[in-house]
Amino acid sequence: MESSVFFGLSTIAYILAMIIYIIYLAFKKSQIGITATAVTIIGFISQTLAIILRWKEFADFSQMGFLRSAPLTNLYESLIFFVWCLILGYLVIEFKFKNRSFGAFVTPIAGMALAFIDLSGMSKEIQPLVPALQSNWLLAHVMMSFIAYAAFSLSFSTGLMYLIVKTEKKNEGSYIFWSVTLGIFIAVLIAMGIDLLNFRVMVKPEEFIKSYMFKTSFLNPSPPVKIISWVSMAIIIFVIWRYGAVLKAVITKFNIAPDILDEITYKSIAIGFPIFTLGGLIFGAIWADQAWGVYWSWDPKETWSLITWFFYAFYLHGRMIRGWRGKKVAIVAVLGFVAVIFTYLGVNLLLSGLHSYGEI
Amino acid sequence: MKSKSLIDRIWELFASVRLAIVIFALISLTSIIGTIIEQRAESAKNIQVLSKLFGENHAQGLYNVFEKLGFMDMYHSWWFIVLLVLFSVNIVICSLDRLPRIWRLVKEPIGPLSEETLKKFPIKREITLKGKPDKVKDAVTDAIKNAGFSFTESKEDGGYQFFYQKGNYSRLGVYVTHFSILVIFLGAIIGVLFGFKGHLSLPEGSVSDVAYSDRSNEPRPLGFKIKCDNFDVEFYGKSDMPKEYKSWLTIIKDGREVFKKSIEVNDPLTYNGITFYQSNYGLISERLGRGILILRLVSSDGKSSDISLRLGDTFEIPGTSFSGKIIDFSPALSIDEGGHAFTYSGQMNNPAVFIDFSESGKHKYSGWILKRYPDTWQLPEGYRVEFLDYWGVEYTGLQVRKDPGVWIVYLGCITISIGLFITFFMSHRKIWVRIAEEKNNTKVLVGATTNKNRGALERKIDRIISLLGKKQEGDK
């Protein structure tokens, strides 16, 4: 059986689960809720099987042994693993907090991401690895980094939702902050989506990032297209700012208490931070020491990871020692994830260094 | 009011979280600049970056300013090191400043509390059980044990109190974490002071007793000799993407070979505290025609012999009058549309040798034999000419490192992991259960505190209450 069959199955399951979660929120019948959870779990299991199968396919192809063949070496694989972590994180939250309201938010993201990966024609080819990537540390380093990224992305969404729910006035600093952040975020996602659909060539992530990303929009060689893209982004931001109350009403409808949002933001960071420290920074350093003989070389990727680490350390110290709660720390959580995205994509897009050969 | 002494003020400054935040921010912001300006690069490169960002008119001026400030090698500049020192001092003072209070919390023994105090606790539960305290006491202690708490018991007026604390030392986890950062810094400093970062390009067959410093390019004696016996690249399928590159190295000390190892990326060689990492490789173009060709000649009855040849040499297939003459060599052979052979790369990506074959002195045919394509080795007469290697024209690029501090850094990494685990996944929990007689029944009051993960403790206490509730139902 091929892995893509199971990926397709999990895509359908997640989209189906989204519909059932919405029905559940409308009627509040517990059987419907259980069905939604069950469908999500089915999707998760088939995605797990798909990842294992792809792993095996890669191991058979590369002949490098199972441990070194983790399917985490290009954008296609890393996005799939990211979705997997996201669903896992959601399921944990559902069981811990006995709250299904997030399901209606998370499953569509997962389903759409998988469908998008499929539609965009992103290269599913299994590619050989350059020698530097052939290490047993690949699995631990990349997998743990991604688990941390997924945890941070959860804290980003709950932090943002917290700000949306907790702000009233349009001229309030935190209101402007969240509407602009969300606007940029959505505009960038749309721009990347257009790039992928437009180029459909995607060989390797670094090639895409270096040569194609934003080339249809913000970095287009033709000035009118460029201007239209930037203006569109401004319009998106304006619309979100103007109609923020609608978003707030939606979230309030979903019956999510701000305190739970604050707590999930904190818990995700409290789990993501140690995993990021160990898997991202320490394992990365050990691997670099083995491959190049330097555990830390102030390479842009390393430096940005450290900056990300500082952001979350700041969040944790602010919360634990100063007792900050609410909007103040939510803003830090949101900014922390901006640093995460820059570490993951921005460094490869704009800067060069050891990781520029396509490490993710 | 007595005015504070200068030392007190400095202490307060360094003990404040605010300073920590300022230092975090300064290190982050300057580091961002350091990732945009390529470190230790040629000046033209960074002037180009700056002119892209700020326009060509300002680029040169800005470059001069940044260079004066040390941004071209900022992670080694005096002010960045000052920031790191401030960061360390901040960690030390913050920790010392809070230590007495935390230590009190760790060491504070737990004892019985009054009802009023218990009722003020953030986590509290109540339940009334039928029967006097002496009768329900066992049920209560069973329930507490069932929830995973051992406890101390004390007798008081009209009842009992059970109390327990766990994980008081987990409050020190944050100290382990902070201390580990200092350990890692210590290891890094030792590495900088007593270590060596260098490189060495070693041609096949060559020996070196020095490596060259990365910073100054000065040679530095190794204390032994290192020899590259051979170097080889393996490619993925028919592509030019390297799958693996390998050097066979020998360590020579006092004229004797003492150690041999083949190294590849991610698998270095260490001798006498100095480690050699496979880093890159290349072709030495001026040696190209002077390499040694190693062929394995296989006659039609399967007998084989290995020979070494140079350009222009001739060889004979053993036991026959069939001979070959080496005419030409290409490190990377390709054929263009017109069928002409040409060299397409400066690397040894597809080594090929052109051989004129003759039988009994009479020219028969000539052609290319390629190392990566065994089907070119077979001759029509049933003989085989295997292309094993073209030796002596490639060099292996090695990184040479000596870092006596690396084990201290690793030690710090281990302890920081432990510290973070304690800090985030363990908590200091205190729980009191008071049972007292109330109108011939027993009132059970549970109070608890924790410094982290309140939900989990609350679930445990709810378990105690529900166990007691069930017991009550069962007794009816």
Chain A CB contacts of B20 below 8 Å:
317
* CB pair distance less than 8 Å for B417 and A274: yes
- Measured in angstroms, the CA of A173 and the nearest CA of chain B are apart by 21
- B132, B459 in Cβ contact below 8 A? no
Cβ distance B17 to A321 less than 8 Å, yes or no, reads: yes
A93: in domain: yes
B384 and B399 fall within a common domain:
no
**Does residue A57 form part of some domain?**
yes
- Within 8 A of B274 by CB-CB distance, chain A residues are none
**Which pLDDT score is estimated for A125?**
67
Q: Is residue A203 pLDDT above 60, yes or no?
A: no
**Of B34, B46, B95, B17, the residue nearest A307 (C-alpha):** B34
- Domain tally for chain A? 1
Boundaries of domain holding A56 = 1-129
| pLDDT value for A281 | 95
B304-309 and B292-298 beta bridge pairing: antiparallel
Based on the fold, state whether residues B382 and B407 are members of the same structural domain.
Answer: no
pLDDT of res. A124: 64
Residue A262: its H or E element: helix A258-275
Shared domain check, B220 and B276: yes
Mean pLDDT to the nearest integer, B92-113: 90
pLDDT at site A333: 93
Indicate whether A80 belongs to any domain: yes
Q: Is A271 on the interface with B (CB under 8 A)?
A: yes
Predicted local confidence at residue A359, as pLDDT: 37
CA atoms within 13 Å, Cβ hemisphere of B383: 20
One domain for residues B158 and B219: no
In this structure, the answer to whether residues B12 and B100 fall within a common structural domain is yes
Chain B residues with beta carbon closer than 8 angstroms to that of A294: 197, 401
For A173-188, how does the pLDDT look when each residue is reduced to its tens digit (9 = 90+)?
899 999 999 999 888 8
| Closest CA in chain A for residue B409 | A295
Residue A222 DSSP class: S
* Nearest-by-Cβ selection for B266 from A132, A282, A285: A132
Mean pLDDT lowest among A206-220, B151-165, B374-388: A206-220
Residue B174 CB: number of other CB atoms within 10 A?
A: 22
**pLDDT, average across residues B412-418:** 96
* pLDDT number for residue B183: 97
- Report how many helices (DSSP H) and strands (DSSP E) chain A contains, helices first: 14, 0
Amino acid at B419: G
Residues in chain B: 476
Q: Same domain for B330 and B201?
A: no
Tell if the CB–CB gap between A278 and B401 is shorter than 8 Å.
no
Asked if residue A62 is part of any domain, the answer here is yes
Domain residues for B146?
117-167+427-475
Residue A319 lies in a domain: no
- Is B403 in Cβ contact with A293 (below 8 Å)? yes
Which tokens belong to A58? 């890669």
Subunit contact A291:B266, Cβ cutoff 8 A: yes
Confidence of residue B55 (pLDDT cuts 50, 70, 90): confident
pLDDT number for residue A335:
93
Both B408 and B282 in a single domain?
yes
Among B243, B421, B424, the residue with its CB nearest the CB of A128 is B243
CB B184 within 8 A of CB B416: yes
- Kindly list the residues from chain B whose CB atom is less than 8 angstroms away from the CB atom of residue A336: none
Q: Which of the four pLDDT bands, split at 50, 70 and 90, describes residue B335? A: confident
Measured between alpha carbons, how far is A149 from A138 in angstroms, rounded to an integer?
16
Q: Does A296 reside within a domain? A: no
A278 to chain B, any CB pair closer than 8 A? The answer is yes
A66: pLDDT strictly greater than 80: no
Mutate to test the interface with A, among B21, B28, B421 (most CBs of A within 10 A): B28
For residue A81, give the amino acid letter: F
Is residue B64 situated within a structural domain? yes
Of A273, A322, A353, the CB nearest to B17: A322
**ipTM summary value:** 0.85
What does the pLDDT average to over B402-407?
A: 93
Residue A208 pLDDT class (50, 70, 90 cuts): low
Please provide the average confidence, as pLDDT, over all residues in chain B.
89
The pLDDT assigned to A209 comes to 64
| pTM (two decimals) | 0.86
Contact B34 A306 (CB under 8 A): no
Tell me whether residue B172 is in a domain: no
Give the model's pLDDT for residue A357: 38
Q: What is the CATH number of the domain that holds B281?
A: 2.60.98
Residue at token pair 């329900």: B136
Residues of A in contact with B424 (CB under 8 A): 270-271, 273-274
Decide if B166 contacts B149 (C-beta within 8 A): yes
Same domain, B209 and B334: no
Residue B244 to residue A131, Cβ atoms within 8 A? yes
Residue A151 in this model has a pLDDT that exceeds 80 = yes
Considering the domain architecture, whether residues B364 and B247 belong to the same structural domain is answered as no
The pLDDT of residue A121 = 59
Residue B259 sits in the same domain as residue B339: no
Hey, is the C-beta of A285 within 8 angstroms of any chain B C-beta? yes
**Tokens 């069981």 found at:** A95
Q: Which residue has tokens 């932090």?
A: A159
The verdict on B281 and B407 lying in the same domain is yes
A 294-353 near B (Cβ less than 8 A): 294-296, 298, 300, 303-304, 306-307, 310-311, 313-314, 317-318, 321-322, 347, 350-353
Q: Name the residue with higher pLDDT: B254 or A125.
A: B254
- Mean pLDDT along residues A41-55: 92
Summarize pLDDT for A225-273 with one digit per residue, the tens. 888 989 999 999 999 999 888 888 888 877 778 888 898 899 999 999 9
- In a domain, residue A273? The reply is no
pLDDT at B89 over 90: yes
If asked whether residues B297 and B383 sit together in one domain, one would say yes
| B420 in a structural domain | no
Task: Kindly list the residues from chain A whose CB atom is less than 8 angstroms away from the CB atom of residue B401.
Answer: 293-294
- As for how many domains chain B has, the answer is 4
Q: For residue B174, is pLDDT > 70?
A: yes
Is A113 part of a structural domain of the chain? Answer: yes
Q: Decide if B180 is inside a domain.
A: no
Would residue B179 count as lying in a domain?
no
* CB-CB neighbors (< 8 A) of B406 in chain A: 289, 295
Task: Give residue B419's pLDDT band: very low, low, confident or very high (50, 70, 90).
Answer: very high
Give CA–CA dist B314/B292, Å, rounded: 13
Between chains, do B245 and A318 touch, taking CB under 8 Å as contact?
A: no
Q: Testing the interface with B: which of A99, A129, A203, A278 to mutate, by most B Cβ within 10 A?
A: A278
